Chains A and B, each alone.
Chain A
Amino acid sequence: MKREIQRSTLLTRRALVLAGGKVALLATLAGRMYYLQVIEAKRFTTLADENRINIRLLAPPRGRIVDRFGIALANNEPTYRVEMVAEQAGDIQATLAAVDTLIPLSDADRRRVMRDLRRKHSFVPVSIRENLSWDEMARIEVNTPELPGVSIERGLARHYPFGEAVSHVVGYVAAVSEKELEGVDDPLLELPDFRIGKNGIEKAHDLELRGKAGSSQVEVNSLGRVIRELSRKEGEPGEEIALTLDMALQDLAMRRCGDEGSASCVVMDAFTGEVLALASAPGYDPGAFAAGLTPEQWKELSTDPRNPLSDKAISGVYAPGSTFKPMVAMTALENGVITTDTEFFCPGQFELGNTVFHCWKKGGHGRLSVRRAIKESCDVFFYHCADLLGIDRIAAMAKRFGLGQVLGIDIPGERAGLIPTTSWKKATTGISWQRGDTISCGIGQSYVSVTPLQLATYVGRLVTGRAVEPRLTRKQGIMTPGEAVAQVPDPAFAPLDFKPKHVEIILNGMFGVVNEPHGTAYHARIEDPAFAMGGKTGTAQVRHISLAEREHGLHKIQDVPWKERDHALFISFAPVTAPRYVCAVVVEHGGVSAGEGGAVAAPIARDVLLETQKRDPARRIPDNPLGAGGMVASR
């Protein structure tokens, strides 16, 4: 019995020891709970929110690009795609087969769907087909009750209503490349469907057009499935960019250029520098870039000899040929090398040492002064002028006219061309400048090269006497009724200080070119005197034609391969009484009608300038912004 008591006392003692241990352990638990839930509660609350709250970006709609009257040149159109949520669809194959009976699915579509299904959670929607037509969308929509898990999703895609008619100016958008992501911290760029401006205005004004991303806070579970939206901040839509273009003119210029194969045309309001048309034919379909080009499309575009991807109006460089002559005449007059009455004798050629420089007119022009020299484009007269001036004085004047330099138009890709100087030749070729070089340059050949945009600017500066600069965007937005329009050249452009009588005699000569018999563009004159234009033809040699060929009559243009034919140029202004609109046209290789400057390029300028004056887009808003007959609306 005593042992029994001993045993029970020991047990009690030890039970109390264990009880003490338990108390200690329970206290540890309570302490730990206090630590986690009180002291560290804030940290864990943050971690818990990080766990469950996901921030999703909302892409803002991209800003529109419109012409000067508000016609949309780039906007956003709804696109439709069919999506399927696997866990709701059940039998995937049966669902795909059912969709296939409504809209055809290619094997590639099926493969992509099956691949995406394997990669994604079964509650994540998988795209079955994109870019549905409205009909296809409607067919699916009507049948959704029989198609569990299948839905139509609406998105926005960049749309270019005028397609290739304004492709070079507007540019295009495409998916963001890895390179473009580097060093940029705009999270929008990482959205899978995001498109970024890659060319033209789309690129130059990408940041304004892009807008600001919105965000949506969503609660997700551990698998990333969205449970609900907690808050939403709408983004800021991109800004609308108003261009100086008049789409009706642009369209006309594009069609007229397109008729000649590979050509470009620039129309500008010389008072303001606003470019009304900037055409480069052929164009390309910018929508194809936004959707993603197929390799075949890319090959076709990049190997076309007419070079559709290049904006020839700003990046095509050509010898100005005889269009250079009014500028040389101005140089000679301003430098006092000739007066308005100085005459030279043209026997049909000009000899300098052993070299003979020909006039284009075999028999020569006889005695003539600057006005007739311009009108009839006498080469010998300008050989004399150039020889007397020297290249550096010609180059200095050319710079004042905006030739051979980047003019800073607001789309990328502009090229400078070249106005040579003595030091330039020494530095690049190591050979000293020769007198003979000056003779060739005096008629716009040899080293001289310019862009159509520079040619238009040059005429603009000639008619206004101010350093007009071309531009493509209107900071003030689209034209509004009652808007004050410029009645004189914008005084913000620096005056060039030409003597008025020099300007007058040159413009007079250019009037003669078009409006008088024997003028080189007489056939392309505008009959209505109220709209008459002045101009100057030009031919840019692509390949030197030897004397032997000349004598054998091989210079007939039809006998020369297209790629080797000369370019045809024409510069012009209108109306002659108070010049405001200026136009430059370059037809590569003489166009399909294989003509010289006056024959091919001048009629384009005539048509475009006539329409420009009738519409008068610099001064008024036309009743029909898209032009007569709704020609553009039918696109």
Chain B
Amino acid sequence: MAAFDASTPRLSIAEKLWSLNWGLVALLTIIACYGFAMLYSAANGSLEPWAARQMVRYAVALVLMLGVAIVDIRFWLRSAYIIYSIAFVLLIAVEVRGAIGMGAQRWIDLGVIQLQPSELMKVTLILALARYFHGLTIEEIARPHRLIIPAILIVAPAVLVLKQPDLGTAMKLVLSGGAMFFLAGVRIWQFGAVIAAAGAALPLIWHHMRDYQKNRIYTFLNPESDPLGTGYHILQSKIALGSGGVFGKGFLLGTQSHLNFLPEKQTDFIFTMLAEELGLVGGLSLLALYTLVFIYGFAIALRSRNHFGRILGLGLTINFFLYVFINTAMVMGLIPVVGVPLPLISYGGTAMLTVMFGFGLLMSVYIHRDVRVGRFGENLS
């Protein structure tokens, strides 16, 4: 085993690609195809303007994913903080640009795609936290002062994102960060303390929320009170989804989506459209595909023989799960409308790239599952 371990870092690119988890790649591609179909339908049966571009994006993202996957896991460990820093700087850059009056843009125009640093932040945060917890012993984790740095790693971008304002992403950063803490072995009572503190801070947060954010929560609590105002999106989404029934209205035949009663049908509410046209059967089958992805993620993470890989894999899987859950729960009216896309399916470049970047890292964990990594990324063999 030791000899094999020593040889893994020197695997050729071809060998690495060979050892890739192709089942997962196929699964992701099937899910993406669901997306292409729905984007085709959203454009009333046309590849333009969404489906064709989404296919190109997926192809690019797939190449990026494979590229990320074959890079040595230790490289990612060593670069974790640098990548985090770059994302953080970009986040500040959009914030500053917005502050100096160029409009409240959340993205940086790279020509090919419009990069949303907050989206990038979701993955890089997990990378950075995995790197940090990898370096801590179990005793060290028990010491509260060791948790100050990772807490800052989470809170700093969350606050910036909240100021954009983007409640959904901020919530996701805190949730996936919290999950990382939990996985790393932080004591349960410490979680209790943090939750209690957060509860105490809730009125303060409420006070600082924008009116439209408050409205979203109000209307979530009682959407039918104002069917033409802010409750419109939730109500229309439920109508479209519910009217789909068990087998749906048929591909391209979703009346609510195609008559524009359903808002944002190509982005945040694409799942509603899918459920309207393909019914309970279509919706549940997509959720089943996602569940398979989660299982793959867990299996890959737990199979890894280095702590960095395990915690990174689990973090990425949970991050992906949160994406899926928040979006679908939102369109079903289970949680307030927060503006989170459905990964691999919603139309959008950055989300696609970051999600695939995350899967690239997950596959890197898989390929390098038997690599032993020291506290600072040194080769232990």
Flag A27-66 by CB within 8 Å of B: 1 or 0 each: 0111011101110110111011001100000000000000
Q: Tell which of A10, A18, A34 has the most Cβ of chain B within 10 Å.
A: A18
Q: Which of A177-185, A217-225, A375-383 contacts B (4 or more CB under 8 A)?
A: A217-225
State the majority secondary structure of interface residues on B.
helix
Whether, in the assembled complex, B170 has its beta carbon less than 8 Å from a beta carbon of chain A, the answer is: no
- Bound CA–CA A3/B311 (angstroms): 16
- Are A25 and B243 in touch, CB under 8 angstroms? no
Whether, in the assembled complex, B185 has its beta carbon less than 8 Å from a beta carbon of chain A, the answer is: yes
Q: Which residues from A are CB-within-8-Å of B223?
A: none
- Are B256 and A33 in touch, CB under 8 angstroms? no
Given A37-B242, A38-B280, A11:B185 Cβ within 8 A: yes
Flag B222-253 by CB within 8 Å of A: 1 or 0 each: 00000000000000101111111110000000
- Bound CA–CA A221/B328 (angstroms): 25
Whether, in the assembled complex, A97 has its beta carbon less than 8 Å from a beta carbon of chain B, the answer is: no
Q: Tell which of A28, A37, A51 has the most Cβ of chain B within 10 Å.
A: A37
- Bound CA–CA A3/B137 (angstroms): 7
Q: Which residues from A are CB-within-8-Å of B381?
A: none
- Are B239 and A41 in touch, CB under 8 angstroms? no
Whether, in the assembled complex, B182 has its beta carbon less than 8 Å from a beta carbon of chain A, the answer is: yes
- Are A36 and B302 in touch, CB under 8 angstroms? no
Q: Which residues from B are CB-within-8-Å of A559?
A: none
- Are B138 and A222 in touch, CB under 8 angstroms? no
The answer, among B179, B240, B280, for a CB contact under 8 Å with A18, is B179
Whether, in the assembled complex, B362 has its beta carbon less than 8 Å from a beta carbon of chain A, the answer is: no
- Bound CA–CA A337/B279 (angstroms): 99
State the majority secondary structure of interface residues on A.
helix
Q: Which residues from B are CB-within-8-Å of A10?
A: 138, 185
- Are B284 and A30 in touch, CB under 8 angstroms? yes
- Are B283 and A22 in touch, CB under 8 angstroms? no
- Are B259 and A14 in touch, CB under 8 angstroms? no
Interface size class of B (residues with CB under 8 A): 35 or more
- Are A14 and B182 in touch, CB under 8 angstroms? yes
Whether, in the assembled complex, A8 has its beta carbon less than 8 Å from a beta carbon of chain B, the answer is: yes
Whether, in the assembled complex, A496 has its beta carbon less than 8 Å from a beta carbon of chain B, the answer is: no
- Are A222 and B302 in touch, CB under 8 angstroms? no
- Bound CA–CA A44/B183 (angstroms): 42
Whether, in the assembled complex, A233 has its beta carbon less than 8 Å from a beta carbon of chain B, the answer is: no
Q: How many A-B residue pairs have CB under 8 A?
A: 133
Whole-angstrom distance from the CB of B31 to the nearest CB of chain A?
A: 15
- Are A47 and B138 in touch, CB under 8 angstroms? no
Whether, in the assembled complex, B329 has its beta carbon less than 8 Å from a beta carbon of chain A, the answer is: yes
Which residue of chain B lies nearest to A12 when distances are taken between CB atoms in the complex?
B302
Q: Tell which of A4, A11, A14, A43 has the most Cβ of chain B within 10 Å.
A: A11
Q: Which residues from B are CB-within-8-Å of A223?
A: 260
Q: Tell which of B138, B242, B259 has the most Cβ of chain A within 10 Å.
A: B242
Which residue of chain B lies nearest to A34 when distances are taken between CB atoms in the complex?
B280
- Are B183 and A37 in touch, CB under 8 angstroms? no
The answer, among A11, A12, A33, for a CB contact under 8 Å with B280, is A33
- Are A38 and B284 in touch, CB under 8 angstroms? no
Whole-angstrom distance from the CB of A469 to the nearest CB of chain B?
A: 59
- Are A26 and B287 in touch, CB under 8 angstroms? yes
Flag B303-340 by CB within 8 Å of A: 1 or 0 each: 00001001100100010010001001100111000000
Whether, in the assembled complex, B87 has its beta carbon less than 8 Å from a beta carbon of chain A, the answer is: no
The answer, among B137, B240, B258, B280, for a CB contact under 8 Å with A7, is B137
Whole-angstrom distance from the CB of A123 to the nearest CB of chain B?
A: 13
Which residue of chain A lies nearest to B255 when distances are taken between CB atoms in the complex?
A52
Whether, in the assembled complex, A227 has its beta carbon less than 8 Å from a beta carbon of chain B, the answer is: yes
The answer, among A4, A28, A32, A34, for a CB contact under 8 Å with B307, is A4
A206-239 with Cβ < 8 A to chain B: 219-223, 227
Whole-angstrom distance from the CB of B323 to the nearest CB of chain A?
A: 12
Q: Which residues from A are CB-within-8-Å of B139?
A: 3
Whole-angstrom distance from the CB of A354 to the nearest CB of chain B?
A: 86
Whether, in the assembled complex, B261 has its beta carbon less than 8 Å from a beta carbon of chain A, the answer is: yes
- Are B275 and A37 in touch, CB under 8 angstroms? yes
Whether, in the assembled complex, A19 has its beta carbon less than 8 Å from a beta carbon of chain B, the answer is: yes
- Bound CA–CA A52/B240 (angstroms): 11
- Are B239 and A47 in touch, CB under 8 angstroms? yes
Whether, in the assembled complex, A6 has its beta carbon less than 8 Å from a beta carbon of chain B, the answer is: yes
Whether, in the assembled complex, A15 has its beta carbon less than 8 Å from a beta carbon of chain B, the answer is: yes
Q: Which residues from A are CB-within-8-Å of B184?
A: 11
Given A33-B284, A38-B280, A222-B261, A51:B256 Cβ within 8 A: yes
- Bound CA–CA A51/B256 (angstroms): 8
Given A18-B314, A40-B242, A47-B243, A8:B332 Cβ within 8 A: no
Which residue of chain A lies nearest to B272 when distances are taken between CB atoms in the complex?
A36
Q: Which residues from A are CB-within-8-Å of B275?
A: 33, 37
Q: Which residues from A are CB-within-8-Å of B137?
A: 3, 7
The answer, among B261, B279, B307, for a CB contact under 8 Å with A8, is B307
- Bound CA–CA A189/B128 (angstroms): 71
- Bound CA–CA A3/B375 (angstroms): 13
Q: Which residues from B are CB-within-8-Å of A6?
A: 138
- Bound CA–CA A411/B236 (angstroms): 54
Given A3-B138, A26-B287, A222-B260, A36:B246 Cβ within 8 A: no
Whether, in the assembled complex, B298 has its beta carbon less than 8 Å from a beta carbon of chain A, the answer is: yes
Q: Which residues from B are CB-within-8-Å of A11?
A: 183-185, 307, 310-311, 314
- Bound CA–CA A433/B216 (angstroms): 85
CB-based closest 9 A-B pairs: A44-B242, A48-B243, A221-B259, A222-B260, A37-B280, A36-B242, A44-B243, A45-B243, A41-B245
21 A-B contact pairs sorted by A residue (CB < 8 Å)? A6-B138, A7-B138, A14-B182, A15-B183, A15-B301, A26-B287, A29-B328, A30-B284, A32-B329, A32-B332, A32-B334, A33-B287, A36-B241, A37-B242, A37-B283, A48-B243, A48-B261, A51-B256, A51-B259, A52-B256, A52-B259
